[in-house]
């Protein structure tokens, strides 16, 4: 018995079949493109790490070039915990295994911030000591260090993550062999206001950090973003007009993360040799 094409039953069956077909096609396309998308994400991360070093040889490296150049400059990938204990140590000879969650390259600080750091900060808001103690007790918070050796000099690329006005902000900062001086940076954001907070990824903002230090009188001193127009010392940079809350987010992000790296370099002087 033929279906009545004008009936509701026919319409429902036809719509169901079309949904199944289109859904299947979309799933197939998505699965087909997934390896390419993953490769792009991996290469972009490599690009950001290389560009943050602050040397001419990696300045302007493209995403397409990054995969081939990464091991040429990054000779070691180290993961530490909040207490500064090394929990993973790989060399350029060790392939990046995406299943190895402790490999420094696979550490996703944005996810860790959202899942583990942010709840701790919210629960202990206003009590810095309790926040630090809770962060120290967590086994889910990691800090990657990428070691670059070039021209007989070592550089250390570290990663930070936090929250701006609207959403995630993050950075890669290169620290010189002394363990305290910034040699290069790459800042990025997910959803900061266009023309305002979004400018943290512009070269003029990032270049201000070059030569700044995170130590004064042998103690950790966070690098801060100030309202533009103020006199600056060796631990301060100009902020962005109209982007006060983005600057506040950058300050929190840098202070919380760089303190861990600073303590690690100070407590492990052999690491920088």
Give tens-digit pLDDT for 100-152. 999 999 999 999 999 999 999 999 998 999 999 999 999 999 999 999 999 99
Please indicate, yes or no, if residue 255 is contained in any of the structural domains: yes
Please indicate, yes or no, if residue 101 is contained in any of the structural domains: yes
Q: Which residue has the tokens 């550490």?
A: 107
Regions in the chain scoring below 50 on pLDDT: 1
What are the Cα distances from residue 172, in Å, to 54, 145, 151, 156? 11, 10, 21, 10
Please indicate, yes or no, if residue 262 is contained in any of the structural domains: yes
Give tens-digit pLDDT for 58-85. 998 999 999 999 999 999 999 999 999 9
Please indicate, yes or no, if residue 31 is contained in any of the structural domains: no
User: Residue 4's pLDDT is what?
Assistant: 61
pTM above 0.75, yes or no: yes
User: Residue 222's pLDDT is what?
Assistant: 95
User: Residue 32's pLDDT is what?
Assistant: 67
CA distance 216 to 232: 14
User: Residue 39's pLDDT is what?
Assistant: 73
Contacts of 62 (CB under 8 A, 6+ apart): 47
Q: Find, among 189, 154, 199, 156, the residue nearest to 175 by Cα.
A: 156
Domain of 207?
44-107+142-272
Please indicate, yes or no, if residue 34 is contained in any of the structural domains: no
Count the domains in the chain. Answer: 1
User: Residue 273's pLDDT is what?
Assistant: 83
Please indicate, yes or no, if residue 128 is contained in any of the structural domains: no
Please indicate, yes or no, if residue 38 is contained in any of the structural domains: no
Supply φ then ψ for residue 262, to 5 degrees.
Answer: -60, -50
State the CB neighbour count (10 A cutoff) for residue 135: 19
User: Residue 156's pLDDT is what?
Assistant: 98
Please indicate, yes or no, if residue 32 is contained in any of the structural domains: no
């Amino acid at each position: 018995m033929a279906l009545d094409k004008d009936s509701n039953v026919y319409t429902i069956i036809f719509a169901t079949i079309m949904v199944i077909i289109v859904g299947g096609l979309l799933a197939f396309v998505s699965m087909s493109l997934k390896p390419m998308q993953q490769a792009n994400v991996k290469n972009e991360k490599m690009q950001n790490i290389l560009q943050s070093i602050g040397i001419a040889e990696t300045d302007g490296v493209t995403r397409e070039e990054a995969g081939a150049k990464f091991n040429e400059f990054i000779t070691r990938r180290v993961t530490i915990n909040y207490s500064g204990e090394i929990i993973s140590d790989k060399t350029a000879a060790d392939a990046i295994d995406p299943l190895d969650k402790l490999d420094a390259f696979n550490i996703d600080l944005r996810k860790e911030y959202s899942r583990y750091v942010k709840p701790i900060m919210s629960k202990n808001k206003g009590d810095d000591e309790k926040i630090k103690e809770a962060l120290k007790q967590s086994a889910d918070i990691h800090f990657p260090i990428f070691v670059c050796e070039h021209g007989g000099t070592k550089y250390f690329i570290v990663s930070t993550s936090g929250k701006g006005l609207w959403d995630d902000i993050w950075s890669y900062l290169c620290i010189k062999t002394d363990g305290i001086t910034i040699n290069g940076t790459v800042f990025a954001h997910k959803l900061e206001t266009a023309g305002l907070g979004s400018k943290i990824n512009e070269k003029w903002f990032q270049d201000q950090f070059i030569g700044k230090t995170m130590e004064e009188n042998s103690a950790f001193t966070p690098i801060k973003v100030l309202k533009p127009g103020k006199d600056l010392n060796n631990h301060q940079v100009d902020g962005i007009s109209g982007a006060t809350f983005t600057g506040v987010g950058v300050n929190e992000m840098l202070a919380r993360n760089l303190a861990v790296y600073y303590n690690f370099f100070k407590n492990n002087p052999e690491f920088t040799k």
